[in-house]
A and B are shown apart, each in its own frame.
Chain A
Amino acid sequence: MTKSNSSLKTKNKSYNNSLGNRIGLGLLYLVLGAVALFQIYPLVWLFFFSLKTNAEVFGTSPFALPKDPQWGNYLKAWVDGGVGAYFFNSVWVTVTAVILTVLFASFVTFAITRMDWKLNKLVLGLFMVGLMVPIHSALIPLFSFFLDLNLIDHPLSIILTYTAYNLPITIMILLGFYYTLPREVEEAAVMDGCSVHRIFFQITLPMTMPVISTTAIINMIYNWNEFVFVNTFISSDKYKTLTVGIQNFIGQYLTDWGAIGATLMISIIPVLIAFFILSNRIVDGIAAGSVKG
């Protein structure tokens, strides 16, 4: 793997001390900082957006501060938009689906990359095809499928759908990592007479913590923001999720954009928190994994 190492010559001895490099570093920070501003601005923008009236949202400059902050938008989001009521549904549906997806995907990836069997390429292929289904063409078949199972208007229908449709991408991402990770530890464990389950749960899972966190973040965001499946499969208010709350502000002829902004703002907070926690796991995980067992 590291065959190219030897080709590196010792040309640049003290590259990090020269003046040129300092200027380069300064420029780099300038660029990085500018990009960061561009990436963080949407949150600020969304916040102002959530405090505006429709008249301000359209027609005035998007940079403009809200003239008369409409804090009432948040009240509307909470009460009329049902954010208070849908919040818990969003949380547990998202969490359950993320755990199922990541766990199943890890099982599959482990079996495909670490275990010996003839059909592994075929099974992998089966999962990869799952990447390619446009969800809207699956909508009607899935609906009649769940109808037959009596799962329409049941949270299981969306949890299973989220899991199934996120499995392929999760497996793909895991796969890239499993191939990269050294197998020595696992091989040693086999020598020591470890069972496969112990290897999986006690060696492989902890070692892949960074990528598990990564896929968990990606899955979480997908599930949290999904609305096509919820809208189609769920009709009772008691099972609806936050994205449906947004629908409450889209009227026949009039859409209340400020309230949508407020709903979006409220609903981004939990993902933001979860995201910061999980993305720290990316760092922690590797530290734990690299300790030789």
Chain B
Amino acid sequence: MNKKAFPFILGLIAILMIALAGCASGSEDDGASGSDDSDNESGSDVEEKTINFMHLWPEGSSRQHHLIVNDIIAEYEEANPGITVETEILGNEQYKEKLKVLSSSNELPDVGMTWAAGFLDPYVGGDMFAPLDDIIENDHSDSFVPGTAEAYAIDGTTYGLPLELNITPVMYNKAIFEEHGVEIPETFEELKAAVQTFVDNDVIPITLGNKDSWTGSMWYMYLADRIGGAETLTNAINRSGSFEDPALVEAAAKVQELVDMGGFVKGYNGLANDEAKGYFINEQAAMYLMATWDLPQWTTDENNPQEFRDNVGYFKFPTVDGKGDKNSYVGGPGVGLFVAEDSPVKDEAKDFVSFFVEKWGEQAVSNAGVIPATKVDTENVELPDMYIDVLNDLNEASNITLYADVQMSASVAQVHLNMIQALFGGEVSPEEFAKEQEDALAAEEE
């Protein structure tokens, strides 16, 4: 019996020793990457500085983005001897969570990624992000597409430099449309007629992953835009208007008309966007409202069959009863770069951000299929036709309304997203839908 215990304890001690050795070797080189303050004091002729850069383009899922980032960093380090850029890369959700935890201890990376409006508001309120107006004035006064950098401004000061710009057209499957003799709908009535045809023929008219309710929100936003004009929803959110505006209620009613017809894929409220997209890629669904960040999947992504990609087209969201401007879009900038206010290398970080935005703009479309928020010179790049069309549409856009959940403060956005699910699920009437959000917005104003 005793024989059993001794090997056990011996093994245990051995493993603990290995563990400690692992820790010890860890702590030795810890200082090298971790803190940059200590390194500064060693008085070599070139001052060594490290910029910590946290981004969300891992090699696995965003290979091209990842490579461009590494390229830009290499180029920057080359041009600025003594400066090293250390990256930390996380997936989308984990990135947001970690940013939150880091900021609670004022440990933000020197440079990181942020979203516009509602997302960065608390960070600005907590003096976490550095103003970047000087960069825009000095280096980028004419680089950005109008309206994009403004989305990162609070009270006239800009805290983020946008990297991407998207609009949201309705993607559709040309083959399915042709097979059922459906034309591209110009008006909401035609859209409904198209939906009816698909319903009658057992084709999924519209696929929608409304578990991530920002997807359903885009449908609602378009209807609100077409019925009430570009400003109504924005005004309701910025409190110069009301969410109980008749146009906003009517838009909700129109959503339910589509729902009642069976316009959306079965179980949409339980489907994630990825799952819903699957029906479109497998050519089971005729239409899919999604922003242009997915363009690579419709054009160049080899993982999707060539026949499918050839069948994908897009059209502008229809008008409603002849009202509305088809050149008004839901969309806006996605991620942008911030510089931490308390960064020990703030000047270098700002310089890097400025450099990054410029280089990113040159490479993003051609190498990663991302439409940057900086102006794109379409003359000199080889692009699939769909990109050219989208870029032209962008130039002709009369208005781009930023995604409602991004415009709103985080807690109101939660109400909005819940209400979108309830509206699509038929749990609330259009009036209740509007009132609930009006209440949330009004409560916050106090």
Contact = CB atoms under 8 A, between A and B. Distances in A.
Contact, chains A and B (beta carbon distance below 8 A): yes
Interface of A: 53-55, 57-60, 76, 80-81, 92, 95-96, 99-100, 103, 139-140, 143-144, 147, 152-156, 159, 201-203, 205-206, 209, 227-228, 231-232, 235-236, 238-239, 246-257, 259, 288, 291, 293
A144 B104 contact: yes
B62 A254 contact: yes
Interface stretch (B16-24, B192-200, B230-238): B16-24
A227 B91 CA distance: 12
B281 to A, nearest CB: 5
B101 A155 contact: no
A227 B93 CA distance: 12
B89 interface: yes
Given A80-B60, A143-B105, A248-B59, A206 B5 contact: yes
Interface stretch (B25-33, B128-136, B399-407, B421-429): B25-33
Given A143-B105, A288-B1, A247 B23 contact: no
B92 A55 contact: no
A232 B305 CA distance: 38
A147 B90 CA distance: 20
Contacts of B281: 54-55, 58-59
Interface stretch (B7-15, B41-49, B382-390): B7-15
Nearest to A97: B19
Given A81-B60, A154-B23, A231 B97 contact: yes
Interface residues of B, number: 59
Contacts of B107: 147, 152
A239 B19 CA distance: 13
B19 to A, nearest CB: 4
B162 interface: no
Given A55-B303, A99-B12, A249-B58, A156 B23 contact: yes
B58 A58 contact: no
A249 B61 contact: yes
Given A140-B104, A144-B105, A250-B93, A58 B277 contact: yes
Interface of B: 1-2, 4-5, 8-9, 12, 15-16, 18-19, 22-23, 26-27, 30, 33-34, 56-63, 65, 88-94, 97-98, 100-102, 104-105, 107, 274-275, 277-279, 281-282, 284, 293-294, 297, 303-305, 308, 334-335
Given A140-B101, A140-B104, A239-B26, A293 B278 contact: no
A154 B275 CA distance: 37
Contacts of A232: 97-98, 101
A252 B98 contact: no
**Chain B at the A interface: SS class:** helix
Contact of B101 (A92, A143, A255): A143
Given A59-B278, A205-B8, A231-B98, A155 B60 contact: no
Nearest to B293: A253
B365 to A, nearest CB: 15
Contacts of B335: 252
A6 to B, nearest CB: 33
Contacts of B101: 139-140, 143, 232
A203 B4 CA distance: 10
Given A58-B275, A205-B8, 9 more contacts: A53-B303, A55-B304, A96-B16, A144-B105, A159-B19, A206-B1, A228-B97, A259-B60, A259-B61
10 contacts: A54-B278, A76-B60, A80-B63, A96-B16, A153-B34, A205-B5, A238-B26, A248-B58, A250-B93, A259-B61
Given A55-B304, A144-B104, A231 B94 contact: yes
A58 B274 contact: yes
Given A59-B284, A154-B23, A235 B88 contact: yes
Contacts of A238: 26
Most buried by B among A57, A228, A254, A256: A254
Contact of B58 (A96, A147, A251): A251
A139 B94 CA distance: 13
A146 to B, nearest CB: 10
Contacts of B275: 58
Closest 6 CB pairs of A and B: A58-B278, A251-B61, A59-B278, A250-B91, A59-B282, A248-B60
Contacts of A227: 94
Given A55-B278, A96-B19, A209-B4, A153 B58 contact: no
Given A248-B60, A250-B58, A252-B57, A231 B274 contact: no
Given A76-B60, A247-B58, A248-B58, A236 B33 contact: yes
Most buried by B among A156, A205, A248, A291: A248
A217 to B, nearest CB: 16
B313 to A, nearest CB: 18
Contacts of B88: 235-236
Given A231-B90, A248-B59, A96 B15 contact: yes
Most buried by B among A203, A253, A256: A253
B92 A250 contact: yes
A59 B89 CA distance: 30
B274 A255 contact: yes
B274 A247 contact: no
A249 B60 contact: yes
Contacts of A153: 30, 33-34
Contacts of A57: 278
A239 to B, nearest CB: 7
